[in-house]
Amino acid sequence: MSEYFDTNAQPDMANINRKKANVMRPVEYQNGEAFTIRNVRVMPESIPAGFKALADMSPFESLLIVDLGGTTLDVAKVQGQLAGISQVFCDPHVGVSLMADAVLSVMATNGMRTSHHIANTIIEHRHDEAWLRQHIHNDAHYASLMAVIREKEETLKQRT
């Protein structure tokens, strides 16, 4: 949503038009056949999640849609029957990738094999010391990973 709305909660038409232009170009298959996308509608990604509920609501009611994504926290207050979007809030610094990015950085610094899958698996098992010790043999690597996980966990707790 931070790319869809400007600071006054109005659609950012320059950004929206740039996204449309990016999608509306000829597409060719490997065998040379082509097609052109003729129409594109750009919407903030989290709002369609509320379409069904909004359709059954009066325009005098509203729905709060919260999207905690990988890198952002997006919140929108949408009027029933999609009569309008009355408020939006975007925080580009809160997202679930905060911890994963930190774990990836520590792994790379320590020369460990890295991938988002491995980092997320370590985070998922952060309370299972036996599992972690079975997969992280170096004590210094284990200590640095656990330190950054605790630090980022605390950062996320402070933001709520």
41-92 pLDDT, tens per residue? 777 677 887 888 999 999 999 999 888 776 678 888 999 998 888 888 877 7
Q: Number of C-alpha atoms within 13 angstroms, CB side, residue 13?
A: 0
Instruction: Verify that 66 and 112 share a domain, yes or no.
Output: no
pLDDT of 87 reads: 84
Residue 1 lies in a domain: no
> Bridge-partner residues for 63, per DSSP?
78
Instruction: Verify that 20 and 77 share a domain, yes or no.
Output: yes
Q: Would you say residue 25 has pLDDT above 60?
A: yes
pLDDT of 160 reads: 53
Residue 80 lies in a domain: yes
Q: Strands 34-36, 26-28: parallel, antiparallel or unpaired by DSSP?
A: antiparallel
Q: Would you say residue 26 has pLDDT above 80?
A: no
Instruction: Verify that 82 and 135 share a domain, yes or no.
Output: no
pLDDT of 1 reads: 66
Q: Would you say residue 103 has pLDDT above 90?
A: yes
> Bridge-partner residues for 87, per DSSP?
77
Q: Would you say residue 140 has pLDDT above 70?
A: yes
Domain boundary among 91, 114, 129: 91
Instruction: Verify that 85 and 19 share a domain, yes or no.
Output: yes
Domain boundary among 38, 66, 91: 91
Structure tokens at 105: 């950085």
Q: Would you say residue 96 has pLDDT above 70?
A: no
> Bridge-partner residues for 28, per DSSP?
34
**3-class secondary structure, 34:** strand
Instruction: Verify that 105 and 75 share a domain, yes or no.
Output: no
Instruction: Verify that 146 and 121 share a domain, yes or no.
Output: yes
Residue 2 lies in a domain: no
For residues 92 and 68, what is the distance between their CA atoms, to the nearest angstrom?
A: 10
Residue 33 backbone phi and psi in degrees, to 5: -65, 145
Domain boundary among 41, 58, 91: 91
Residues of the domain holding 119: 97-158
pTM over 0.75: no
For residues 121 and 132, what is the distance between their CA atoms, to the nearest angstrom?
A: 10
Number of domains in the chain: 2
Instruction: Verify that 101 and 53 share a domain, yes or no.
Output: no
